[in-house]
């Protein structure tokens, strides 16, 4: 009898809807760049490992955008400027190239190409427009032609470049490119984009992968069904003025997604990754009614559904078998299977393994899976689900993650204890399902909907949708009294399409305090243009407020990765134990970048980790990889503004470091020293700050910003503007989700 533990990888492929409804132009290039760098090769590598069965979730509006690029219909500014002859570039074009054609990971994508690195050093660390104009005169026509080629070339996966004679020749050449080579490269991009869907279809037909779907424009289905569903996980939240309660829109999004899938692959999908893993009991009848047999979400949803914590040891290993059981919910007499991802295993790939040797990272993952198998009496009845973003992590890995994936897949191929399956393959095994009476409403991020509703910016956006939707419904009713008109009916259909597009989750991702990007303004503008287009299509005057930005300039941001357990690291300036910071929260430079990517602009610090014990805040500052450690003197200041003004001033020089606490006496403006703090510097900088010194207690929030002065490497502010919000774990933190 086969007693191998079932392991299911699900790679979620998604990009926002970048197409501007006012002119048809794509605002940002990331669909094409991920098409050439990630979407094709993530699937194609499985030709070498056919026993490593997997699931890929392709969001319908991503398929639509890939198809537009493949057909040559899609236009974006980056591509238009790339296609211009270097001799025809205007001053604005050249400034744009110097500003934005280094948007990539410096260490892993730019530095390996000597000419590209040379051009980056020539430009300097800043991409501010004023400073870029200052250096324009130092760049010649050939420099810009080389940048046009190199920027598009590095966004093609290394394995594709190696196998393609023309692309490998460009890499060997390294520079001094011709216009003819550039034109051929731009054609090659579309050729790769055009091969993606057929590659997925081929692997699917051969039984190596399953392809699942999502609602069409990636909306948060529970919030479309009823915005009040946010209240259970967010009982004190302020919600939009108008309650949004349109399950018919949620159904339309599901149906549209299923139809595109059927048109693409010839049959209906069996599974669905609900956008952002967002689930509720109200959305289940909609997906079941469209033939969906399984959905997936996060372990914290299971924990809250069962009112039972998922317990882990200090290394993140789970010792509760219930996480790895398949669950079944009865929906009006029809069954749907729900699987819950292992949060830690998924995050290790998404956030941690890029820093490790690929072979060691692969061994760590496999050993964790074997550990789970050893824990179970009947591993063949269980499923470990590893679910994560399948595109954005890889630029942080060397060789675009291929070395890690190849090492991992080699170990998993024909492993005596582990079997890789697609989600539907596991369902077809007919293993025992655990009945689940209710599904807690929430997402895969903090088991709530806080990113998409509750902040004044989020709520404003929801109210704008409600107002425009009401106007459209009113107009539709009015027009029923008139004779049929094909043009009017077409406009109404297009207006509904704009409603559905505006319901996508991505607009709300960038509103509020959780996420920041250099493209906040682009997303804000795109969202408002979708709303304006609804009014325009039904010949109504758009409200004036749609010309005003929803996003605020001064905002507070929550780190993308928040602490998952209490920690107690040794303050020695070294990563003495990789796992001592495993459960920490983390900020990376890319968090403050463009929508998906930010060039690493000089500076000193690559990431900041933070976490708490019962009475202490711990911080760790990691140097940029290119620096190793940093021997020159530098300093940093942590400015706390909540719950009370406190400043931490630190100086570092090699292995020497000091830190001092400063406070303001009541009613005084002057800072006074309040004593030294524990700090250490070696390969990293580690710092401990007593919560008592900050005037903070369990369950409260810290509001702060960090300034780093690295002299010749410049001054950094984290975040660039506004504040960071750190939530101090409440007294029952461990009982809520973890056991350390």
pLDDT at residue 734 in the model: 58
pLDDT at residue 627 in the model: 65
Last residue of a domain, one of 552, 569, 601: 552
By C-alpha distance, which of 601, 711, 598, 523 is closest to 131? 601
Residue 30 lies in a domain: no
Task: Kindly state whether residues 724 and 584 are assigned to the same domain.
Answer: yes
Task: Kindly state whether residues 376 and 517 are assigned to the same domain.
Answer: no
**Cβ-based neighbours of 608, under 8 Å, separated by 6 or more:** 586, 587, 619, 620, 621, 622, 706, 718
Task: Kindly state whether residues 346 and 485 are assigned to the same domain.
Answer: no
- Helix then strand then coil, % of the chain, to nearest 5: 45, 20, 35
What are the mean pLDDT values of the chain's consecutive 10-residue runs (740 residues total)? 94 97 96 98 98 99 98 97 98 96 94 96 86 93 99 98 98 98 99 98 98 99 98 94 98 99 98 98 98 98 96 91 97 96 96 93 98 96 98 95 99 97 96 95 94 94 98 94 90 98 94 70 94 97 92 76 89 84 83 38 81 95 75 90 92 94 75 93 94 91 90 76 88 51
Residue 628 lies in a domain: yes
User: Could you tell me which residues are beta bridge partners of residue 684?
Assistant: 622
The span from the CA of 52 to the CA of 575, in Å, is 33
Number of domains observed in the structure of the chain: 3
Measured in degrees and rounded to the nearest 5, phi and psi for residue 211 equal -110, 125
Task: Kindly state whether residues 404 and 547 are assigned to the same domain.
Answer: no
The span from the CA of 575 to the CA of 352, in Å, is 13
Residue 26 lies in a domain: no
Task: Kindly state whether residues 360 and 252 are assigned to the same domain.
Answer: yes
3-state secondary structure at position 448: coil
Task: Kindly state whether residues 534 and 607 are assigned to the same domain.
Answer: no
pLDDT at residue 698 in the model: 87
Task: Kindly state whether residues 276 and 328 are assigned to the same domain.
Answer: yes
Last residue of a domain, one of 552, 586, 612: 552
DSSP H or E run through 607: strand 605-612
Buried b (16+ CB within 10 A) or exposed e, 227-262: bebbebbbeebebbebebbbeebbbbbbebbbebbe
The span from the CA of 155 to the CA of 193, in Å, is 12
Residue 678 lies in a domain: yes
Residue 34 lies in a domain: no
Q: What is the pLDDT of residues 617-647, one digit of tens each?
A: 999 999 887 666 677 899 999 999 999 899 9
Place of tokens 């259909």: 493
Last residue of a domain, one of 403, 435, 467: 435
The span from the CA of 223 to the CA of 109, in Å, is 39
Buried b (16+ CB within 10 A) or exposed e, 339-367: bbbbbbbbbbbbbbbbebebeebbebbbe
CATH number at residue 431: 3.20.110.20
Task: Kindly state whether residues 505 and 356 are assigned to the same domain.
Answer: no
Task: Kindly state whether residues 427 and 465 are assigned to the same domain.
Answer: no
pLDDT at residue 355 in the model: 87
pLDDT at residue 740 in the model: 27
Place of tokens 């952002």: 276
Residue 169 lies in a domain: no
With 0.75 as the threshold, say if the pTM is over it.
Answer: yes
Task: Kindly state whether residues 212 and 322 are assigned to the same domain.
Answer: yes
Task: Kindly state whether residues 530 and 600 are assigned to the same domain.
Answer: no
Angle, alpha carbons 203-359-344 (nearest 5°): 75
The span from the CA of 148 to the CA of 169, in Å, is 16
**Cβ-based neighbours of 266, under 8 Å, separated by 6 or more:** none
Residue 236 lies in a domain: yes
Residue 505 lies in a domain: yes
pLDDT at residue 151 in the model: 99
Task: Kindly state whether residues 257 and 395 are assigned to the same domain.
Answer: yes
3-state secondary structure at position 509: helix
Domain that holds residue 518: 456-552
CATH number at residue 733: 2.60.40
DSSP string, 229-248: GGGTT-TT----SSPP--HH
Q: Do the bridges between strand 671-676 and strand 656-664 make them parallel or antiparallel, or are there none, so unpaired?
A: antiparallel
The span from the CA of 637 to the CA of 661, in Å, is 10
Instruction: Please answer whether residues 160 and 168 qualify as being in contact, where contact means their C-beta atoms are separated by less than 8 angstroms.
Output: no
The four Cα atoms 607, 612, 618, 622 give a dihedral, to 10 degrees, of -20
């Amino acid at each position: 009898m086969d007693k191998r533990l079932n392991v299911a990888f699900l790679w979620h492929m998604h990009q926002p809807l970048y197409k501007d409804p006012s002119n048809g132009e794509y605002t940002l290039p990331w669909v094409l760049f991920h098409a050439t760098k990630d979407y094709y090769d993530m699937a194609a590598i499985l030709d070498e490992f056919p026993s490593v069965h997997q699931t890929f979730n392709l969001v319908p509006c991503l398929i639509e955008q890939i198809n537009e690029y493949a057909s040559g219909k899609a236009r974006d500014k980056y591509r238009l400027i790339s296609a211009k002859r270097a001799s025809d570039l205007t001053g604005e074009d050249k400034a744009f190239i110097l500003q934005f054609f280094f948007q990539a990971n410096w260490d892993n994508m730019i530095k390996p190409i000597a000419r590209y690195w040379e051009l980056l050093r020539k430009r300097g660390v800043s991409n501010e427009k004023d400073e870029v104009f200052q250096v324009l005169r130092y760049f010649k026509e050939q420099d810009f032609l080389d940048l046009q080629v190199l920027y598009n070339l590095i966004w093609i996966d290394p394995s594709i470049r190696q196998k393609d004679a023309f692309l490998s020749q460009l890499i060997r050449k390294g520079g001094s490119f011709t216009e003819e080579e550039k034109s051929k490269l731009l054609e090659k991009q579309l050729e790769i984009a055009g091969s993606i869907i057929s590659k997925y279809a081929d692997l699917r037909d051969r039984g190596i992968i399953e392809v699942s779907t999502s609602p069409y424009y990636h909306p948060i289905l529970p919030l479309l069904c009823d915005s009040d569903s946010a209240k259970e996980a967010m009982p004190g939240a302020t919600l939009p003025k108008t309650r949004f309660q349109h399950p018919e829109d949620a159904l339309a999004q599901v149906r549209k997604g299923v139809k595109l899938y059927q048109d693409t692959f010839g049959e209906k999908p069996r599974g669905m990754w609900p956008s952002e893993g967002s689930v509720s009991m109200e959305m289940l009848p909609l997906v079941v009614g469209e033939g969906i047999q399984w959905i997936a979400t996060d372990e914290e949803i299971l924990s809250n559904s069962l009112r039972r914590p998922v317990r882990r040891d200090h290394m993140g290993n789970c010792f509760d078998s219930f996480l790895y059981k398949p669950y079944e919910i009865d929906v009006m007499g029809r069954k749907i299977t729900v699987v819950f991802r292992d949060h830690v295993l998924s995050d290790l790939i998404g956030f941690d393994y890029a820093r490790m040797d690929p072979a060691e990272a692969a061994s760590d993952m496999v050993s964790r899976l074997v550990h789970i198998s050893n824990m179970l009496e009947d591993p063949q009845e269980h499923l470990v689900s590893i679910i994560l973003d399948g595109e954005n992590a890889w630029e942080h890995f060397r060789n675009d993650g291929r070395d890690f994936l190849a090492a991992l897949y080699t170990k998993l191929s024909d492993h005596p204890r582990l079997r890789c399956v697609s989600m539907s393959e596991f369902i077809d095994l007919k293993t025992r399902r655990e009945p689940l009476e209710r599904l807690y409403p929430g997402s895969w991020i903090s088991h709530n909907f806080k990113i998409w509703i509750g902040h004044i910016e989020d709520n404003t956006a929801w109210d704008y949708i409600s107002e425009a939707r009401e106007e459209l419904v009113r107009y539709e009713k009015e027009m029923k009294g008139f004779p049929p008109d094909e043009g009017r009916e077409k406009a109404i259909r297009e207006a509904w399409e704009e409603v559905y597009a505006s319901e996508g989750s991505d607009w709300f991702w960038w509103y509020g305090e959780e996420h920041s990007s250099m493209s906040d303004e682009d997303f804000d503008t795109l969202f408002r243009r979708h709303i304006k287009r609804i009014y325009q299509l039904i010949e109504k005057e758009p409200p004036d407020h749609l010309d005003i930005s929803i996003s605020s300039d001064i905002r507070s941001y929550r780190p993308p990765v928040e602490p998952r357990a209490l920690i107690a690291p040794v303050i020695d300036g070294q990563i003495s134990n990789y796992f001592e910071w495993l459960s920490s929260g983390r900020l990376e430079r890319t968090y403050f970048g463009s929508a998906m990517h930010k060039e690493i602009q000089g500076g000193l610090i690559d990431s900041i980790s933070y976490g708490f014990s019962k009475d202490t805040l711990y911080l760790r500052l990691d140097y940029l990889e290119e620096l190793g450690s940093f021997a020159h003197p530098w300093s940093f200041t942590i400015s706390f503004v909540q719950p009370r003004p406190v400043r931490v001033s630190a100086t570092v020089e090699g292995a020497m470091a000091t830190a001092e606490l400063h406070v303001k006496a009541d009613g005084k403006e002057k800072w006074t020293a309040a004593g030294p703090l524990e700090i250490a510097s070696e390969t990293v900088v580690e710092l401990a700050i007593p919560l008592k010194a900050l005037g903070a207690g369990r369950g409260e929030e810290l509001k702060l910003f960090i300034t780093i002065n690295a002299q010749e490497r410049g001054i950094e502010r984290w975040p660039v503007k506004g504040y960071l919000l750190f939530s101090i774990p409440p007294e029952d933190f461990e009982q809520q989700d973890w056991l350390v």
